[in-house]
Amino acid sequence: MENSSKIDNKAIGQRIRSERENLGLSREEFAEMVGLSDYYIGQLERGERQMSLPVLVKVSNCLHVSLDYIVFGITAVNANSVNEPESTNGTYNVIDIGEISSLLNKCSPKELELFKKLIKTILPYL
């Protein structure tokens, strides 16, 4: 197996912790959201445990990050669009976020901070 495809549990755990903290979630809050114990989440974040695929998917969905990012630290970012799944056929629609960006550009720093807090609060529940 190549070094580039080796699973690094500590790095995975660091990415999970970092994303959880970016959302302003305590370990206990996050554990409750994904239906796991806070002790288990702590073990994952320290790289002491390797999670199953269903747990990995739950964690990824709750943190709103890709599986590639959690496992390998790989991000594919397009700042002007968001992929949204189309109903049942598995294809994706690209949503232009330019309108959202232009609306945010009209906000004061205080309003932007409020929106940031709101988004961080809401995202884990979507």
Task: Kindly report, residue by residue over 97-120, the tens digit of the pLDDT.
Answer: 777 887 888 888 888 888 888 888
Band (pLDDT 50/70/90 cuts) for residue 124 is confident
- Domain co-membership, 60 together with 91: no
Q: Are 55 and 35 in contact (CB under 8 A)?
A: no
What gap in Å lies between CA 80 and CA 100, rounded to an integer? 10
- Domain co-membership, 63 together with 93: no
Query: Tokens 């964690």 belong to which residue?
Result: 59
CATH number at residue 43: 1.10.260.40
Q: How many CB atoms lie within 10 A of CB 8?
A: 13
Instruction: Please say which residue of 55, 72, 89 terminates a domain.
Output: 72
- Domain co-membership, 9 together with 68: yes
Burial (Cβ within 10 Å: 0-12, 13-18, ≥19) of residue 91: exposed
State residue 94's pLDDT score. 57
Distances (CA, A) of 5 to 1, 11, 36: 7, 13, 27
pLDDT digits (tens, 9 = 90+) for 58-88: 999 999 898 989 998 887 554 444 545 444 4
State residue 117's pLDDT score. 86
- The pTM of the full predicted model, rounded to 2 decimals, is 0.63
- Gap between the terminal Cα atoms of the chain: 37
Domain that holds residue 24: 3-72
